[in-house]
Each structure stands twice: as structure tokens, then as C-alpha cells.
Structure 1
Amino acid sequence: MEIFINNHASIPIYEQISSQIKALIINGELKAGEALPSIRGLAKSLHISVLTVQKSYDVLQKDGFIETTAGKGCFVSAQNQDFYIEEQQKKIEDRFVEAIEIARASGINLDKLIGLLKLLYEEDE
């Protein structure tokens, strides 16, 4: 498992770690039941504080991505992917509602809105 830290990013290090681990889980690179690196081990390999890794793992556990077993470590949870996808879809829906309201208020029709969405979505492919 490779985690990359950007010390110059505006995103806190613990969020960088947790979001990268979430992505690895969602993409299937980390499977249900698979052990994560120990907190100390990951902190040492990333040259960061143990407390920062602990905070990342706390976020992952709170969000249902990992489970912690005392004396054994942290493991990928079996119930994480569906929950995460549902959570992301809700965020997208909320932003779509906002975009639709702006489009309607600006007189932008549905075809133009769909065209804009398609253009933006395919831009980075």
C-alpha cells in the first residue's frame, strides 16, 4: 500500500491518508478483512507523527471503512463500499440540486446543462 503525502497541500495530512486509503478500498486494491499497516509502522514509513496516523484510522473507523481489533490491528471492513458509494451519490445529488437551481434562475435549459456536465466529466479522461 502506497500513501503519498503533500506537505504543501491545504488538506490536512490525516485527511490525505484517510482519503487515499478509502480510494484503495473502493477500487478493490484493499479487500475486506485485509490488514492495514500498524499505526506506528505507517507513521514511520511516512515520517509523520503516530497521532496523525491514529487520527486517520479513527476517521476510517468512524466512516465504517475499517475495524479495529485490540491487540491485532486494523482491518478493512466488509460493509464499506456500498456505504461509501451511497454517501458520495448523496453529495452529488446535493450539488446537482444547487446547479439546477442556478441554471433555472439563469435561463439555462436542460440540454445545455447536460452538455456542460458531459463536457466537464469527460474533460479529464
Structure 2
Amino acid sequence: MTEELFLSQNDSRPMYLQIMAQIKQKIRVGDWPAGHPLPSIRELSAQTKVSVITVKRAYSELEMERVIVTQPGRGSFVAAQADLPGVLAQHELTLQINELVNNALALGLDEVGIIALIQQAIAARK
């Protein structure tokens, strides 16, 4: 279970989104359970070599999404939201499904064709 986050200059996403994604991943897979303390903004800034403002933005966004809570003078912690890993997994899956549907529509498939391909993929796994 590693505490470190690894950001990539080759990733097209802004650094704050990379930080958010990696924190959510750690929560989703159970590495960071409810109540787990996050690195301080300054610590994470130094570790990832990004500005304090970038880390602060990531933490603020995560707090708005109710993924983390910040307690003045104590730090930031993984929120004690019911089934947070499941909620994050559902959200990630929804994003991926939306991307899949958009790509399929761009390729000229209609809703019936998309659903048929998904059903085939599910049937092939059984």
C-alpha cells in the first residue's frame, strides 16, 4: 500500500485532475479507507513537484465531490461516506459508458446496435 502519487507530463489531463484520479483510485481499491489521512497540501506538492495551488485545487474539488473532508488544523481525510468505493466505481463506470456510447454513435451505430454489442460482450463472458 503506497502513499505516493505519480503524475505524468505525458498525460493530457491537467495535474490537478491526475491527482484527483489517483486519490479516487486509492479509495476505490481500498488502499485509503474512510478516515485515512491524506498528505498535507505542502507535502503532496513537494512529493509530486507541482505547485501548492494545484494540489489545493485538487483537494477543493474532491471536497466539493464529498470524497474527502478537511478539518482545519488537522488536515484532510477520506470521507466517511457510505460505500464510497462503490460510489466512486459507479461514477467511473458511468463516465466510461458515456464515452463508449459517444464513440459508438460517432462510428455510426444506433442505440439498438450499441445495446446488441453490449449484450454480446456480456454473453461472451458467461
Under TM normalisation by the shorter chain, which class is it? 0.7 to 0.9
Q: TM-score, normalised by structure 2?
A: 0.75
Task: Give the share of equivalent positions with the same residue, in percent.
Answer: 33
- Partner-residue secondary structure (3-state), 2:18: helix
Q: Which residue of 2 aligns with 1:19?
A: 21
1:107 and 1:18 map into 2 onto residues whose CA distance is 34
Q: Which residue of 1 aligns with 2:86?
A: 82
- Partner-residue secondary structure (3-state), 1:103: coil
1:76 and 1:96 map into 2 onto residues whose CA distance is 30
Flag the 1:97–1:25 CA change in 2: closer, same or farther, 3 A.
same
For 1:40-79, what aligned pairs fall within 5 Å after superposition? Answer: 40-79=42-81
After superposition, the CA RMSD in angstroms is: 3.0
Flag the 1:109–1:12 CA change in 2: closer, same or farther, 3 A.
closer
Q: Report if the CA contact (8 A) 1:103-1:109 is conserved.
A: no
- Partner-residue secondary structure (3-state), 2:10: coil
Q: TM-score, normalised by structure 1?
A: 0.75
How much does 1:83 deviate? Answer: 2.7
How much does 1:16 deviate? Answer: 0.5
Q: Report if the CA contact (8 A) 1:34-1:75 is conserved.
A: yes
